[in-house]
Structure 1
Amino acid sequence: MKWTLAAALVEADQLLGLAQAAEEHGYASVAMPDSVFYPESVSAKYPYTDDGERFWAPDTVYVDPFTAIPAMAAVTRTIRFYTNVLKLPLRDPLLTAKQVSSMAVMSGERFGLGVGLSWMPEEFAYTGTEMRTRGARTDEAIEIVKAVCGGGGPQWVEYHGKHYDFGRLMISPAPRNPLPVYVGGHSEPALRRAARLGDGWISVNTTSDQIVAATARLRELRAEYGRDHLPFEIKVMPVDIADLDGYRRLEEAGVTECQASPWWAYPADDPTAARHRLDAVRRFADDVIARY
């Protein structure tokens, strides 16, 4: 089992120090979320709360992951980074592939791309993209990113799909090793996308029972697609585990990496203060990572 520092909703001026502390204390990765903007009015319910309401304020910080990750990579040496998750269908896949390939090379190939769809109609409307085709376009975009970042450095690639079509082109720089792509989501289409196209799966904040059920379904689907012999990472954030036995149960189910935002696990007058967050990174490493 490895450990990810989940740096969601963290102020910009704290990220570099947290990445350095995570590297020092044995975390394998830092995960950065993605949110482009907050509409004042939203026409859909948030899918991951019981009441359908967002649990963060409109001015909550979401540093762009393609800005934050290169900055954190520049002040670290070994720790890896991934997006959790990038809303891929809001973006042009070739421009995304260009950014991703450069990030992979400049970080020393310490970057993985976690992708999802986005649930918010306004994000599609205001970025000039289509929500109805988001699943099919995400499938094609994953294929394009994996073609550009398939390893071996810059290569000629072309793509001819329903939604994206281009002739032979080369993007440079490009990584020597294939860039891992992780797919987020708990729906059946999301699990199928992860099993068919992904190098791993990322959970939402959810219970260990739901994670175990999802990992079992992923095993079935990967066998169905003939990909069960390939490496596959499972990165999760359980909301109901606080003991080593619980983490071991997840590892037995196939989980390879657990996410933690440890500042919420230790009481503090201000759990968002920089000093508390740095101390919590160290304490979680002593209390959990080292003992595990």
Structure 2
Amino acid sequence: MKYTCSIAMGPLDQLVGIARTAEEVGFDSIALPDSLFFMETAAADYPYTPDGSRMWDENTPWVDPLIAAAAMGAVTSTLRFYTNVLKLGSRQPLLLARQVGSIANLTNNRFGLGIGIGWAPEEFEWCGVPYRRRGARVDEMIKVIRLVLGGGMVEFHGEFFDFDRLQMSPAPSQPVPIYVGGHTDVALKRAARVGDGWTSAMMTGAQLAETIGKLNSFRAEYRRADQPFEFQAVCIDKFGVDGHRELAEIGVTDNIVMPWVFDGLGFDAPLEKKQDSLKRFADTYIHSGWQDA
């Protein structure tokens, strides 16, 4: 099982230091969150908390995940980065493909695109994109991004996007993996149908086991069960070596963690304390040999 460190809601000036330490102690990846802006009044409930409230406020720090990947990638050589998840629905796919291709090239293929539709109507409408039919639009966006990043002269004529022959160079030398987020059956089917993996929000171990079972069933329906597939999980109730072993047994391939929170520290803890937490976590889980037992 891989280990990924999430940097959600932390001070921006700590990102480079966290990346360096995460690579030094053996983490596989950094998970990069996405939030466009904070609406004073939201038209919809946040879907990943029991009461629909947001876990952040107008002063919570966020950084564009693509810019963060470029900055952190510049000071590392093996650490991977993926968005967890980028709100695809409010973006323009050709512009995004240009950015993703640039990061993939600059990091020597150490970038993965984790995507979700987006939950807030304001993020669509205030960025000039209709909220209606967002799922179908995102499905077409994924096709556009994969097509353009594949290299060569391409064209696309769809319901939402239409362009004649164009080419973006250089294309990444390896395909950029696309990980699909979301907990609904519609999202899970999208992940099984077109994704290289699925990424979760906060879930219990039991919820993850049920969801991974569904995903595997959907992948079989789409005749993709034999293809490589990542199960990236944020688990809220499986801790310690035994808990991590349980996650591996139910099929989690990538455990997304925030070690300083496990140590009782806040999102805004000093960088040095977060680096100490990364080292302790690595000693306990990454280098302890439990996966070889």
Normalization by structure 1: what TM-score? Answer: 0.96
Trace 1:158-237 onto structure 2 (pairs within 5 A).
Answer: 158-237=155-234
TM-superposed CA distance for 1:158, in Å, is 1.6
1:125 is matched with 125
Mapped contact 1:20–1:75 kept (Cα < 8 A): yes
1:243 to 225, 240, 243: 240
* Change in 2 beyond 3 A, CA 1:160/1:4: same
* Change in 2 beyond 3 A, CA 1:27/1:118: same
Paired letter, 1:164: F
Mapped contact 1:271–1:277 kept (Cα < 8 A): no
CA deviations on 1:83-138 (whole Å, 9 max, x unpaired) are 00000110100100011011101110000000001111111121111111211111
SS in 2 for 1:18: helix
CA deviations on 1:127-156 (whole Å, 9 max, x unpaired) are 111111211111111111111223xxx312
Mapped contact 1:5–1:260 kept (Cα < 8 A): yes
CA deviations on 1:168-227 (whole Å, 9 max, x unpaired) are 211112111111000001100100000001000000011111111111001100110111
TM-superposed CA distance for 1:2, in Å, is 0.5
Alignment RMSD:
1.3
* Change in 2 beyond 3 A, CA 1:255/1:105: same
Paired letter, 2:130: E
2:250 is matched with 253
Alignment of 1:285 with 2:282, yes or no, is: yes
Mapped contact 1:20–1:76 kept (Cα < 8 A): yes
* Change in 2 beyond 3 A, CA 1:145/1:239: same
Q: Percent identity?
A: 48
Alignment of 1:69 with 2:69, yes or no, is: yes
Alignment of 1:95 with 2:92, yes or no, is: no
Paired letter, 1:62: W
In 1, distance between residues paired with 2:46 and 2:265? 28
Mapped contact 1:202–1:236 kept (Cα < 8 A): yes
Paired letter, 2:217: E
2:26 is matched with 26
In 2, distance between residues paired with 1:270 and 1:83? 18
In 1, distance between residues paired with 2:188 and 2:63? 27
In 2, distance between residues paired with 1:248 and 1:179? 29
In 2, distance between residues paired with 1:49 and 1:230? 32
In 2, distance between residues paired with 1:192 and 1:274? 39
SS in 1 for 2:126: helix
In 2, distance between residues paired with 1:280 and 1:161? 48
In 2, distance between residues paired with 1:261 and 1:269? 10
SS in 2 for 1:127: coil
TM-superposed CA distance for 1:268, in Å, is 4.5
Trace 1:30-109 onto structure 2 (pairs within 5 A).
Answer: 30-109=30-109
CA deviations on 1:207-258 (whole Å, 9 max, x unpaired) are 1111111110011001101111111111111010112222222222221100
In 1, distance between residues paired with 2:132 and 2:185? 17
SS in 1 for 2:198: strand
SS in 2 for 1:139: helix
Mapped contact 2:34–2:83 kept (Cα < 8 A): yes
* Change in 2 beyond 3 A, CA 1:270/1:99: closer
